[in-house]
Amino acid sequence: MKRLPGYRRWKRALIVLSLLILAFMTYVAYVNRTTPDMTSKQKILKAVYPLFMGVTKLFGKNNKVMSNSAMTPAPQSVYDLSVTLNNGNQLALSSLKGKKILVVNTASDCGYTNQYADLQKLYEQFHDKLVIVGFPANDFQEQEKGTDDEIGQFCKVNFGVSFPLAKKSVVISSSEQNPVFAWLTSKSRNGWNEQQPSWNFSKYLINERGVLTHYFDPSVSPMSSVVVAAVEK
């Protein structure tokens, strides 16, 4: 039987595509060889994270950095607030006086989820002067649907997270917004900033005296030079 025009070209293309898919799945399996407690989507997101971050950097997406250059003090003390942790315990922020606090809204099914690993590295590197508090939230395209127990297990097993995680809450502006994020995003409370989280893994840095000093967009890696320099300062 006579082959249709272009048959061989399509056959070669299908073979190449199949090999590329096989190579990609092998790469995904290799990257995730030590992360057993992930869904297929989470494993793919972890594998493509370096490419994802490169693309966002190339196109300038979600890479804003804001700083309190005047060191404007907060009209309302952040140390008046407390955090309900995912195990139900209370963390009074007043107990963190003398240390910097990095507040991050997190999610398990996001392109930025692999930042949990860099957050843990940052936490370990500056454990004597920095506390990181993760705030799981389902506010952006429902990328955090897990329970508090599931989120805690996911973070511990796959990323070795040992910094505090808050009980899942709302971090964007609304009547249900977590009080900590209401403080972080209200100029009348923190003194200068009204930037809401632009997506999962937005970061807010508070210094040793309770002054909000920086906001970092999600595409700014926790181990980037700008974050590390702000922590070291």
Q: Tell me how far apart the alpha carbons of residues 162 and 13 are, in angstroms, rounded to a whole number.
A: 47
Is residue 61 classed exposed, middle or buried when 0-12, 13-18 and 19+ CB atoms within 10 A define those classes? middle
Query: Token pair of 93, please?
Result: 């922020």
Catalytic residue among 74, 110, 131, 184: 110
Residue with tokens 């209370």: 90
User: How many residues can be counted in the chain?
Assistant: 233
Angle between helices 40-47 and 49-58 (to 10 degrees): 50
Element (H, E) at 182: helix 179-184
Residue 101 and residue 133 in contact, taking contact as beta carbons nearer than 8 Å = yes
The four Cα atoms 87, 88, 89, 93 give a dihedral, to 10 degrees, of 100
Verify whether residue 155 is a known catalytic residue.
no
DSSP 8-state assignment for residue 201: T
Residue 108 and residue 151 in contact, taking contact as beta carbons nearer than 8 Å = yes
Q: How distant is the alpha carbon of residue 210 from its chain centre? A: 22
- Give catalytic residue positions: 110
